[in-house]
Structure 1
Amino acid sequence: MRESAAERHDRLLALVRERGTARVSDLAGLLGVSPVTARRDVEALAAEGLLDRVHGQVSWPGGAGAGSGPVAAGGLVLGLLAPSATYYFAEVIRGAHEAAARAGARLILRISDYRPEEDRARTEGLLAAGAEGVLVAPGWRGPEDRPAYGDWLAELPVPAVLLERRAAPGTPLDGLDRVSSDHAHGVLLALRHLLGLGHATPLLVARGDSPTALAVRAGYAEALGTLDLEAPRTVIESMPAETDPKGFERAVRALRDAVTSGLASAALVHNDVDAIQMVQRLAELGVRVPEDLALIAYDDEVAALADTPLTAVAPPKRQVGRHATELLVERLTEGAGEESARRHLSLLPRLRVRASCGAGAQAGEGTAAGTGTGSGSGTSRSV
């Protein structure tokens, strides 16, 4: 199977992480790509703040690469395990890196590439590299991965904070500190906005291949109950156009049929890459956004760049990384006998209103941002 750009970016980041500094020409050889491709990848990652680039060389931000020398006396070493260093988790990593730098700590990164079976070994690698505490976003893909690849987290010998993942209530993992986006709140924001514009119950078009997608689906069912609504139909299963073009086409046509039959005039689509591609394909099938269909995307990574800028729910990804790092630093610097209660911190997404729902930005740009907290008792945390 041909390697995706995201997978290549993760390999590139891992190489720079290991070396501290590397020449772009050397990276091209190690990655097995042309110098032009390597240069474009480096420019993209540098623009996201994931790499520093100077005169044909790249280095880990802040000089915190493996080859950058010993940590300053008294400086903490923090580990971060993420399923990817691009798209959604690029902002989470950036927030964690910024918070670590403010605390005078060094952040070490490992990428699981959504292989949950490798999470434990990669986390042990962080500990072997000197991490005194870890931030962990497991590479779970579906609900079956949580019980199969999660219990080991509660047995770690160092403080740990779970990122953008939730544990099943009552499990050992549920006692761990965690920081995550409240996706149910984000879905509720979207549905309320569309209902306020006069639409009947919006449809949900969503994938089922990630914890965020599953949380959006669960949030949709919860929002329908909160708003005392009935779903006009079951969730439309979305598939990535690149890996499953037939599945993607089925989803687009199901949405087209719902609009042309009068079943629905509004939809929430996870994620915004899929949403942009769906808007393009719907136009070819005679359905216009927002004239025929009011549409809100979920994630807000590239939604603003669509031909018709997409209204989007924006999870507070950078703040998740920042608050989780601050919580981990607090755990590591607590005095003997002063351990505070474990915490479950939920951060509220924002609704960024643009043209795709047929309402002007003044009607809801930045609606409902904020943070909410809950407390968790126990001594361990869950992923």
Structure 2
Amino acid sequence: MRESAVQRHDRLLALVRESGTARIADLATRLGVSPVTVRRDVEALTRKGLVDRAHGSVSWPRPRTGKPAAGGTAPVIGLLAPSATYYFSEVIHGAHEAAARAGARLVLRISDYRPAEDRARAEGLLAAGAEGLLVAPGWRGRADPAEHGGWLAELPVPVVLLEREADPGGPLAGLDRVSSDHGHGVLLALRHLVEQGHPAPLLVARTDSPTALAVRAGYDRALCALGLERPHPVIDAPVNRDPEGFEIGVQALWTAVTSGRASAALVHNDVDAIQLVQRLAELGVRVPGELALIAYDDEVAALADTPLTAVAPPKREVGRLAAELLLERLGRASGPVGAGGAGGGTGSAPRRHLTLLPRLRVRASCGAAGAVEATGATGATGREHS
């Protein structure tokens, strides 16, 4: 199977992290691609703050602001993420910014959604000198936390879970965590579509990530809160994982729309939503003409031919607050969490579960009047609702 850009970016980051600095030509050889491809990848990763670029080489970013901790030593915190691109690039960027402000060093390792390897990678971060860990386990299915998560509660350093929930009463329930309230994001999307005059919207969502599972669970709660009945079974249309399954999902949505049973849908995630819109257009169903559509994640939704209205989890803020909370546990920062500093606690404060609310960015795909696009340095955005 051909390697995706996301997978190549993760491999590139791992190579740079290992060596500290690497030449473009050497990276091209080790990745098996052209130097032009590597330069393009490095430019994209540099814009996200994940690497530093110099003439002919690329290096791991170092804190540029802040001051060393007391005693002249910079604290080291580790971050284990399932990916360094798409959703988690913003989480990593937020954590890196918070660490830099505190004069701390952030060390990153990637699991590539292999939960069985999370423990070894976390131990690698500890071996590299990490005094505390930010951890977004590479869980995919409902059974993964129980099967691959118990070791987190046994670690000898403070741990903050990122964008992950723990089973009530389970071994991870007492850990600090910072996450997005995806149920609230789903409610924002469904309420907006209903207010535009649509009957109960359909949901198109995968089953292979914690976010997808949270969106599915939030869908039923949102329907209940709005006094609606589920109009159709949740449609699974996984583009990359199962092309045949994607086509089956497209046909199910096409049938629901053309039969008049549905006129609106929420789709997780952006990539699936964009390709779904393209395929539906080939079948004669236009967005937003015949189908009002909202995507979930808002990573690339604004770049679609018809810019997609999207639910935007506060990814960068999740990373920032998690890093601040971890530094507080380590007693290495000052100021309250959420106010640009992490408090001067010694780790004895009560554990915290911080839940941040997503926003709804209204663009053209939902057919809402007044959805005006504005293009700036950070890309296209529309009206926001929270």
- The whole-number CA distance in structure 1 between the counterparts of 2:71 and 2:116 is 34
5+ unaligned residues in a row in structure 1: which ranges? 65-70, 369-383
Corresponding position of 1:68: none
Corresponding position of 1:343: 352
Corresponding position of 1:137: 136
Corresponding position of 1:192: 191
- Listed one character per residue, the Cα deviations across residues 61-104 of structure 1 (whole Å, up to 9, x for unaligned) are 2269xxxxxx9923110000000000000000000000000011
- Listed one character per residue, the Cα deviations across residues 226-278 of structure 1 (whole Å, up to 9, x for unaligned) are 111101111011212x3422111111111111000010100000001110111
Corresponding position of 1:271: 269
- The whole-number CA distance in structure 1 between the counterparts of 2:227 and 2:149 is 35
Give runs of aligned pairs for residues 151-170 of structure 1, distance below 5 A: 151-170=150-169
Residue 47 of structure 1, CA deviation: 2.2
Q: CA RMSD in A?
A: 1.8
- Paired amino acid for 2:280: L
- The whole-number CA distance in structure 2 between the counterparts of 1:315 and 1:269 is 14
Residue 361 of structure 1, CA deviation: 2.5
- The whole-number CA distance in structure 2 between the counterparts of 1:107 and 1:255 is 44
- The whole-number CA distance in structure 1 between the counterparts of 2:58 and 2:294 is 37
Corresponding position of 1:366: 384
Corresponding position of 2:376: none
- The whole-number CA distance in structure 1 between the counterparts of 2:383 and 2:183 is 19
Q: Which has the higher contact order (CA 8 A, sep 6+)?
A: 1
- Paired amino acid for 1:303: A
TM-score by length of 1: 0.91
Does residue 316 (structure 1) correspond to residue 314 (structure 2)? The answer is yes
Does residue 12 (structure 1) correspond to residue 30 (structure 2)? The answer is no
The answer (yes or no) to whether the contact 2:331–2:346 under 8 Å persists in 1 is no
Q: Aligned to 1:352, which of 332, 357, 361?
A: 361
- Paired amino acid for 1:159: P
- Listed one character per residue, the Cα deviations across residues 128-173 of structure 1 (whole Å, up to 9, x for unaligned) are 1000000000000111111000000001100000000000001120
- Paired amino acid for 2:385: T
Q: Aligned to 1:253, which of 238, 251, 254?
A: 251
The answer (yes or no) to whether the contact 1:179–1:320 under 8 Å persists in 2 is yes
TM-score by length of 2: 0.90
- The whole-number CA distance in structure 1 between the counterparts of 2:102 and 2:266 is 39
Q: Which 10-residue stretch deviates more, 116-125 or 335-344?
A: 335-344
Identity %: 75
Q: Indicate the SS of the match to 1:173.
A: coil
Q: Which 10-residue stretch deviates more, 358-367 or 140-149?
A: 358-367
Give runs of aligned pairs for residues 1-383 of structure 1, distance below 5 A: 1-62=1-62, 73-240=72-239, 242-333=240-331, 339-359=348-368, 360-361=370-371, 365-368=383-386
Residue 60 of structure 1, CA deviation: 1.2
The answer (yes or no) to whether the contact 1:20–1:63 under 8 Å persists in 2 is no
